[in-house]
Structure formats: C-alpha cells, structure tokens
Amino acid sequence: LLKNAHQGLRWLFHAGLRGQQAFPVLALEPSVVEDSIKGGKGSPTPMSSVVGPLLKDLEPHSAKTNKHLPSNSQLHISLHNGAKAFVVTGPPRALYSLVTSLRRVKAPSGVDQSKTPFSQRKPVFYVRFLAVGVPYHSEHLKDAVNKLCTEDLKDEELWDVKDLKIPVFHTEDGTFLSIHFFSRSSTD
C-alpha cells in the first residue's frame, strides 16, 4: 500500500510539473477578467464547460474562433460529457473569445421566452470556466504526456493490477481494469 501511495504521488507530481511546463499561467488583461467574472462565467482558465447546445451547434462557434488563432492556440472540444454537455480547452484568452461569441447568441439568464414563437427563441445554455490551470484531455498536452511517460516515468506501469483493492473501470469502454494492466493508455 505504501509503495503504491509513493508511486502515485510521484506520478501526480510529474504530471502536474509537465502540465505546468507545457501550459504556463499567463496574465490576462484586467478588463477581460473583470468582464468574465461580471458575466458570471468565472475567471478565464484553459477549460470551459458548455452545457445546453448540441455539438453541431457548438462546433461552428469554435471553428469561427479558431479561424483567428495560430495552430498552437486552437480551441478543442475535448470532452463530451453528454449529448449537450462539453468541455472546451485552449488558451484562456481564446476561450474568453469563444465565451463572448456564445454570449451574443444565447438567451440572457432569467428571460421568459414562453410567449416567443419557438422558431424565434434564442438558445438556452450555460457556460462557465473551470477552476483548473492546465487544459486536461486536450491536444495541448500531447508533448507533455510523451515526456511524462518516457523521461519521468521511464514507461513503467502505474501499479500491478493484483494490488488493486477496489474495482477500477476504464473511462472509455467500461472494462474492469483489474483484468488488464495500467500503462501509457491510462494517460490518454
């Protein structure tokens, strides 16, 4: 147990270190931070939760924002947490631009649209910056994951499956991980 705890802490330390190296915190203009907080979206970070629109309705806004960004600053719809729940990742300033774009097309909070014809109603959705410093689950960390696995952890296994005391399931396919092994795929 102590060996696993030590190994887990080592992995977490290196994962945090590589994440911060790959995506250092950069200062934003005070007016951007103030506008975002006043708008109820929180302080801009590299991850934003968007709940409400379908993927087909969110993608054009992301693509429109990406047109103005260099390739290393592109936004990615990194997580699909449900049919209408997504996490968008990228530099905080770029995400702020997306949030501003979405703000223009959505219905303001608390507005009653019940007497507005359905075809003329504005979409209702929720956007909020997540309290993180690194854009997890994104292409922005691809090189950091490679360095983490090969340089810091020397491609070692996280732990032996025989050491697992509780059931652990794979997040993509639901398979029981105690019959498999933990490897680099755990970081994807």
Half-sphere exposure of 75 (CA within 13 A, CB side): 29
pLDDT at 105: 87
Domain 27-110+119-132 has CATH 3.30.70.3320: yes
pLDDT at 108: 82
What's the token pair of residue 36? 């975002």
Residue 182 CB burial class (10 angstroms; 0-12, 13-18, ≥19): middle
Which residue in the block uniquely carries the two structure tokens 């992995």? 11
pLDDT at 121: 87
pLDDT(186) > 60: no
Cα radius of gyration (the chain): 20
Q: Note the pTM of the prediction, 2 decimals.
A: 0.80
Q: What is the pLDDT of residues 35-55, one digit of tens each?
A: 999 988 999 999 999 999 999
Q: How far is CA 154 from CA 12, 43, 150, 171, 184, in A?
A: 15, 36, 5, 24, 10
> Would you list the domain boundaries of the chain?
2-11+143-187, 27-110+119-132
* Lowest-confidence region among 22-36, 39-53, 165-179: 165-179
